[in-house]
Amino acid sequence: MYKYTDRIFFMQALNLPGFPLKTINISGKSQVFDVFRKRFVALTPEEWVRQHFLWWLKTDKGYPASLIAVEASLKYNRMSRRADAVVYDKTAKPVMIIECKSAMQKITQDVFDQVARYNFPFGVSYLVVTNGIEHYCCLRDEKAGKWRFLEEIPHYSGLAAGNRLPGTTPSPFNNSLNDQ
């Protein structure tokens, strides 16, 4: 549970490994150093999840920090939006969009619809949604024209090589993701 105590923000434990976050307090507001953007940013519940998840991708799954864009700008229906993170391959082609929610927010079909809309300008093969507790990864099956849920998030070497993981699981959500 999130608690404000003496202006210090205590965050919920996540289903991700911990790591040494650099935090500061400016005018009673907590800030965390984002190693991807190389600057301090407001420490919100969503940022807490994003920092842990991206660090896990970097350290455990081999994703190069230099190929992860945080809060990547995109336009959809002439509206500006920001994807929480976009992962690129070594040729600078976007291959994955990541949407992070706070640990208190349930992952619903609406969250998947949001990330699917963000994908229109990018056309990536992988969509990831996490709240730090649950993590979902979908792969676009080009032959079937559908999104398939993977059993795990791929290592970057498999992702960048275009390898397709054989293990898929039934969607815990309805099929409207495939209508996007």
Q: How far apart are CA 141 and CA 72, in angstroms?
A: 24
Where along the chain do its domains lie? 45-179
Q: What is residue 162's predicted lDDT score, i.e. its pLDDT?
A: 54
Per-residue pLDDT of the chain (180 residues; tens, 9 = 90+): 334 333 344 578 898 988 888 889 888 888 999 989 999 999 999 999 999 999 999 999 999 999 999 987 766 667 767 889 999 999 989 999 999 999 999 999 999 888 888 888 888 999 999 999 999 999 988 888 888 999 999 999 887 555 554 454 545 555 445 554
Residues 6+ apart with CB under 8 A from 6: none
Question: In the CATH hierarchy, which fold is given to the domain comprising 45-179?
Answer: tt1808, chain A (3.90.1570)
Judge residue 162's burial from the number of C-beta atoms within 10 Å of its C-beta, 0-12 exposed, 13-18 middle, 19 or more buried. Answer: exposed
Give pTM, 2 decimals: 0.82
Q: How far apart are CA 166 and CA 6, in angstroms?
A: 49
Find the radius of gyration of the CA atoms of the chain: 16
Start-to-end CA span in the chain (Å): 34
Can you read off the two tokens belonging to residue 32?
């965390």
In the chain, the amino acid numbered 132 is G
